[in-house]
Amino acid sequence: MTGPLGPVYRSIDALVAHAQAHLGLDADDAVWARNQVFALYGLDSYGADDADADVAPAGAPGDVDRLVGAFLDAAETAGLIGPGERGSRTDAVMGALSPRPSWVRRRFAETERADGGMAAMRWLYDTCVADTYVKRAQLEANPRFDSHGLTVTINLAKPEFRTQAKAAAGNSVSGGYPKCTICLENEGFAGRDKRTLRTVPVTLGGQEWFWQFSPYGYFDQHGICVNDEHTPMHVDRATFGRLLDFVDRFPGYFLGCNAALPRIGGSVLAHDHYQGGGEILPMAKASARTTLSVPGTPGATVEILDWPGTALRVVSPQREAIVDVCDAIRVAWESYDDPAAGIASHDADGNRQSAVSPTVIRTSRGYEMGLILRNNAVSDDCPEGVFHAHPEYWPIKQEPIGLIEAQGLFILPGRLVGELGRIEDALAQGAGLPEDMGEFRLVWDELTDALDGVRDRDAISAAVRDELGSVCRRILGNTAVFKDGGQTLSFLEGLGFAVA
Ligand SMILES: [Zn+2]
């Protein structure tokens, strides 16, 4: 076949070879699978020349981006797809070449039995990269650096939701099926381009939940654990046990839960879920400013973390101790009031506005459960929240600060690449702040102070990274409900804990 369809057929052959190498496609199913893809485009002229064409041996799971790209280019040239259809066509073609959920779950269970939970997760992640559900190349393209004890990333793929109303709208689904974007019924659902989504079951606290990797993850092996039932988010005593169940089975991951309040994380509040994955976030490495013992619970400690937000760490090798101590802190915080500090556990209408965000890892000390205290009070000066990012920082980050950012991994909006680029250009030229960028005045003034006339490009870039880390750290400081360690200590001593 020498016509325009030749490259299309060869690119499909390469994808079929990729599916055999990385997606469990049986050799006996290869012709059948190829025909499934042909059916999507009414292709019926595959000939001997096409079959004889060299198909490069399959490479790594992530090579799928190059292979799919070659297919889309060829299909566009041949007029099979129009411009603007690449995303949905990728999902359609890879959906036809991806294994059924039952096979994924069997293989996951076999890998876990043979090599443990972490090896099974690694295998599942590679599979989800290979079927294009996880956009690994986009994750790797995001700028990322460490600054001021935090990790800062700029997410080029994620749309920015500058208000909670927009975040909620982005997570809702019209039509009622599936009920929301994270419901189990999304597995294979073409209506949201989720033909390649694959999940595995996990049992948490005796309930049926499932795990899935996030398509636009913020870090390595980022995923969510979701209740099989579409039931609202909540944090209670049982939450701690569920988180422990997960890290018992997958000890190299962290798992945490956003405070179940609006404006705290851009999360889907309508459906109970946790977030976790394969990176230990900066807060987990924070040192203890003060350590307290727990009367009656030997071996358990509570640490006040050296951290800009208000964060505690409950440490014990014993599950029961973790659950008891964490729940005591949760219950106390949810009804804690301190008018002088602006902390009101309930608003004027009696709605709860205090909550904890728990997050757990396993270490040589046992379980380490981080507890981030959050409060949703508003004031005239801070209508979006007193303990949220304050308006002067909104040009950098206006979205709610959720579980991942509260732990020190910031996800900044992609627009900043262009905006900061213009600021860097102006600094290098010795010009002023561009007229249409007035909202960046604070950042600009701090940068010109720091640079003191230096116009070297590398120095400017370093100063911008430093400024971003500094702003993110101040935003975490905004979210702190106790502005100094003494207040945190008084709160904990009120619970009967004693400085060790
Ligand atoms: Zn749902």
For the stretch 183-203, pLDDT in tens is 999 999 999 999 999 999 999
Kindly state whether residues 490 and 354 are assigned to the same domain: yes
Domain count, the chain: 2
Domain boundary, last residue among 43, 74, 97: 97
Kindly state whether residues 49 and 169 are assigned to the same domain: no
- Domain-embedded: residue 437: no
432-453 residue pLDDT tens: 999 999 999 999 999 999 999 9
Quote the ligand 1 centre to 378 CA distance (angstroms).
Answer: 29
pLDDT of 60 reads 87
Residue 385 has pLDDT above 50, yes or no: yes
Residue 382 has pLDDT above 90, yes or no: no
Encoding tokens for residue 387?
A: 């303990």
d(CA 200, CA 320): 27
Closest by CA position to 241, among listed 252, 253, 257: 257
pLDDT of 1 reads 45
Give the model's confidence band at 416: pLDDT under 50 very low, under 70 low, under 90 confident, else very high. Answer: very high
Domain boundary, last residue among 68, 97, 126: 97
Q: Which residue has the higher pLDDT, 54 or 447?
A: 447
**What is the dihedral sign for C-alpha 180, 182, 187, 190?**
positive
Bridge-partner residues for 360, per DSSP?
Answer: 255, 369
pLDDT of 159 reads 74
Residue 76 has pLDDT above 70, yes or no: yes
Question: What are the b/e assignments for 174-211, b being 16+ CB within 10 Å?
Answer: eeeebbbebbbebbeeeeebbbbbbbbebebeeeebbb
d(CA 466, CA 147): 6
DSSP string, 32-78: HHHHHHHHHHT-----HHHHHS--PPP--GGGHHHHHHHHHHHHHHT
Segment 465-482 mean pLDDT: 97
Match 């960046």 to its residue by tokens: 440
Kindly state whether residues 179 and 61 are assigned to the same domain: no
- Domain-embedded: residue 426: no
Q: Is 228 exposed, middle or buried (0-12, 13-18, 19+ CB in 10 A)?
A: middle
Task: Output the domain CATH number for residue 305.
Answer: 3.30.428
Kindly state whether residues 61 and 206 are assigned to the same domain: no
Assess contact for 382 and 460: CB atoms under 8 A. no
Residue ranges of alpha helices (H) inside 218-314 are 237-249
State which amino acid sits at residue 155. Answer: N
State which amino acid sits at residue 260. Answer: A
Residue 169 has pLDDT above 60, yes or no: no
- Domain-embedded: residue 443: no
Q: Which residue has the higher pLDDT, 284 or 400?
A: 284
Give the model's confidence band at 163: pLDDT under 50 very low, under 70 low, under 90 confident, else very high. Answer: low
Kindly state whether residues 93 and 141 are assigned to the same domain: no
Kindly state whether residues 88 and 154 are assigned to the same domain: no
209-247 residue pLDDT tens: 999 999 999 999 999 999 999 999 999 999 999 999 999
d(CA 129, CA 124): 9
Domain boundary, last residue among 97, 126, 156: 97
Kindly state whether residues 349 and 400 are assigned to the same domain: yes
d(CA 465, CA 156): 17
The CA-to-CA distance between both ends of the chain, in Å, stands at 79
pLDDT of 310 reads 98
- CB atoms under 10 Å from CB of 5, counted, come to 21
Percent with pLDDT over 70 in the chain: 94
**How many C-alpha atoms does 296 have within 13 Å on its Cβ side?**
6
Kindly state whether residues 210 and 64 are assigned to the same domain: no
Quote the ligand 1 centre to 264 CA distance (angstroms).
Answer: 18
pLDDT of 170 reads 47
Residue 172 has pLDDT above 60, yes or no: no
Quote the ligand 1 centre to 172 CA distance (angstroms).
Answer: 9
pLDDT of 336 reads 97
pLDDT of 14 reads 95
Quote the ligand 1 centre to 181 CA distance (angstroms).
Answer: 6
Quote the ligand 1 centre to 260 CA distance (angstroms).
Answer: 15
- Cα dist from 476 to 289, 321, 401, whole Å: 17, 29, 8
3-state DSSP call for residue 413?
A: strand
Quote the ligand 1 centre to 230 CA distance (angstroms).
Answer: 4
Quote the ligand 1 centre to 182 CA distance (angstroms).
Answer: 5
Encoding tokens for residue 263?
A: 């404006």
Closest by CA position to 72, among listed 99, 98, 40: 40
- Cα dist from 181 to 163, 226, 252, whole Å: 19, 11, 27
Assess contact for 231 and 271: CB atoms under 8 A. yes
Quote the ligand 1 centre to 270 CA distance (angstroms).
Answer: 7
d(CA 151, CA 404): 11
304-342 residue pLDDT tens: 999 999 999 999 999 999 999 999 999 999 999 999 888
Least confident of 72-81, 173-182, 185-194: 173-182
- Domain-embedded: residue 396: yes
Write out the residue range of the structural domain in which residue 19 sits. 5-97
